[in-house]
Structure 1
Amino acid sequence: MKNLNAAIVGCGSIYKVHADALIELEKVKLKYVVDIREERAKKAAEEYNCSYLLKYEELLNKEIDVVHICTPHFLHSPMAVKFLEAGINVFVEKPLALNYQDGQNINAALAQSQAKLGVCFQNRFNDNNQQAKKIIESGKLGEIKGIKGFVTWHRSRDYYLKDDWKGFYETEGGGVLINQAIHTLDLMQWFGGQIKAVKGNIDTRVLNDVIEVEDTAEATLYFESGALGIFYATNTFSQNSPIEIVIDCENGSMRLFNDQLVINQGDNKSVFNADNQGDYKSYWGNSHHKIIELFYQDLLADSYENIVTAAEGLKTLTLIKYINLSAQNNKKFHLENESDY
């Protein structure tokens, strides 16, 4: 079985998590890092004992099997499409793309390619989230009646000013919805199943003089099963507090909060504690390594057993699209005609 040569495009804040995961994999070799800033690319190459390039297109002429896209959001789609057209596998950081249409472009290129694409929704692989998913699928708590997801984080003026692409629809695609709370939206639909409609609102409450995107969003998610989802996210809190997800079922409930899964069923209460803290930002968890390892296992086995597919990535972009449309038009939007659902 051949080894796989990998490259990382974009040496910003997240690339190191990918690089650290890659160097632990036996049948994978990190060959190149790419960044338009030579100083940053050179430093990354020295740290990980690989070569560096300044233009991602140069990878098309190299013997590369997989490219990790860790760039600003607006570059995800054009880069992914080029690599897929060249038959190179792609692992893309969230979001799949800048917006729904760009995500569709990736999906179209994927349909014509022999390569595979995975989306980095690593929180699906956190221990407690995996446990909650198994309990839902077992049916022991009965059907889901409701799900709530709350994200109350903090993003400062400096956070936006240090990167010229953040805070603008043209380059980031949005604010708290597409950058921070996208993981919670993904988990809510992963737990709850098909969503048929949304009604939501967005606003910019703080830093209006710095950003044009939303820093606060809320929505009601109407699931096909009849369950209701309550979603709230903001970047305006004074700290990055733990995300809370509550899943209310016919015969009990589950609460995911602060690396704990608490299961209440009648008079019985069970608590699972997961070690989801790695060496990186606390709210990232430690499941980047898990999802990357599983992605490469699937590549080597030529399977899609664990890959979070482009279609899954499109589901969150669909939700974000319709939350924004609902906010603009002040009405509920139905998703029945969307191919992703």
Structure 2
Amino acid sequence: MIRYGIVGCGHIAKKHVAAIQAVDGAELVAVCDTNENRLAEFAVDGVQGFTHIDDLLKTDVDVVCICTPSGLHPELTIRAAEAKKHVVVEKPMALTLEDADRMIEACEKNGVKMAVVHPNRFRPAVQELRKKLENGSFGKIGHANATVRWNRNQAYYDQAPWRGTKEMDGGVLMNQAIHNIDLLLWMMGEVDEVTSYHATRIRQIEAEDTSVSIIRFKSGALGVLEAAVTIYPKNLEESLSIFGEQGTAVIGGPTANWIKTWNFADVSEEEKAATIQRVEEDPFGVPGHQCIIQDMTEAIKEDRKPIISGDEGRQALSLVIACQLSAETGKSVKMADLARQPVVE
């Protein structure tokens, strides 16, 4: 059995508990939170509870799931790595590239694996889209569009002091849109340059609540990234659209779980209908967190990198950072300037 521990017993930790319980060969053995009331909800059925991560790290856990506010991810990940524990870290992996690089370096130096939680890759509609890209059905791609039009009202931000801050939350791109950004990059490949505009239009928060960016990919394709938490009165859509010379596809809905458009020169109407029906019968599929835990469990046993490694997580973070830099400076940002630098001993 691969033994898991969870640090941070907030809302997202419940998904990790369910995921660990659903995976053969995985077992939840310990949890940690500074709030004893929250801790008590999770430290049940033989699961040990700790109020300090150092005490959890002294146990025989193999993997630590970091489920704390985003700004705490780096130090907790590094501490776990130095204790020779593998790490599953929630999104975003960090709020700065310097911290992300320290996390990756700590895991490499200590011979442990790190997986970043980007569970949307495992959605059935997203998997179908990926297949069409891999088999070349789009032909030459012209452009892509990633959109997150959601509602996070003022009460959402007021319920915890870290929400909406630059230090712990990071803003709409970092906290809400980063999964969609991960999908955009997974489909479209590396980015060459980005130009962005940010604004805090409606919510009383420190970070941005609205963002629009223009992207040029290394392939030459263009992209538009739009994200907002100001949509009235509730979440409207999360979508990913790809447009090529021989194909047009749109994955959408309130979350990107449904095929909205599916037109390809090499796909018959019958095959198109069958694909859409297959997705609609099970739009959510196996929970993404379960897929992440399954993959980490197998990666340890097979001694390989997790599918969504620290380097993969850094790519999404890099684009967010580039967008933020562009918005702050009023200039385009070259992604090459944000490449991972070797750590000097």
Partner of 2:95: 98
1:137 corresponds to: 134
- Tell me how far 1:268 sits from its aligned partner: 4.9
Counterpart Cα distance in 2 of 1:184 and 1:68: 22
Matched, 1:161 2:158: yes
The CA distance in 2 between the partners of 1:126 and 1:292, in whole Å, is 15
CA distance in 1, matches of 2:175, 2:207: 11
1:54-91 Cα shifts (integer Å, max 9, x gaps): 11111221111000000001110000011112210000
The runs of 5 or more residues in structure 2 that have no matched partner are none
Q: Spell out the pairing of 1:142-153 with structure 2 (5 A cutoff).
A: 142-153=139-150
Partner of 2:15: 17
Identity %: 32
Match of 2:31 in 1: 33
One-letter code aligned to 2:119:
Q
> Equivalent residue of 2:43, what SS?
helix
Give the CA RMSD over aligned residues. Answer: 1.8
Equivalences for residues 102-251 of structure 1 within 5 A: 102-172=99-169, 174-208=170-204, 211-238=205-232, 239-251=234-246
Alignment check: 8 A CA contact 1:315 1:340 kept: no
- Partners of 1:245 and 1:6 lie apart in 2 by 33
TM-score, length basis structure 1: 0.92
Q: Distance in 2 between matches of 1:225 and 1:188?
A: 13
1:143 is displaced (CA, Å) by 2.2
Q: Larger deviation: 93-102 or 74-83?
A: 93-102
Alpha-carbon distance in structure 1 between the residues aligned to 2:340 and 2:131: 23
Distance 2:178 2:79 in 1: 25
Cα deviation per residue 1:173-221 (whole Å; 9 max; x = unaligned)?
Answer: x21110100011111111000101000011001123xx11100001011
Q: Are the aligned partners of 1:118 and 1:295 in contact in 2 as well (CA < 8 Å)? A: yes
State the match for 1:55 in structure 2. Answer: 52
- Quick one: which amino acid aligns to residue 245 of structure 1? L
1:234-287: CA deviations, max 9, x gaps? 000021123111100111111101222232124955252252448xxxxxx932
Cα distance in 1 between the residues matched to 2:223 and 2:57: 43
Q: Once the two structures are superposed, what CA deviation does each residue of 1:124-177 show, in whole Å capped at 9, x if it has no partner?
A: 1111111111110111221221100111100111111111211111222x2111
Going from structure 1 to structure 2, the CA distance change for 1:166 and 1:325 (only over 3 Å counts) comes to: same
Equivalents in 1 of 2:137, 2:307: separation in Å?
A: 27
Q: How many residues align?
A: 328
Question: Which whole-Å CA distance do the structure 2 matches of 1:276 and 1:40 have between them?
Answer: 32
8 Å contact kept, 1:219–1:232: yes
Contact 2:194 2:322 in 1 (8 A): yes
Contact 1:276–1:287 (CA<8 Å) still a contact in 2? no
Could you list the per-position Cα deviations for residues 310-341 of structure 1 after superposition, in whole angstroms to 9, with x for gaps in the alignment?
11111111111111111112121111243359
Q: 2 CA distance for matches of 1:255 and 1:119?
A: 25
Give the distance between the partners of 1:196 and 1:156, measured in 2 at CA: 34
**2:247 aligned to 252, 266, 274, which one?**
252
How far apart, CA to CA, are the structure 1 residues paired with 2:136 and 2:7? 42
Query: Residues 329, 338 of structure 1: CA spacing in aligned structure 2 closer, same or farther, 3 A cutoff?
Result: closer
- Which segment drifts farther, 182-191 or 238-247? 238-247
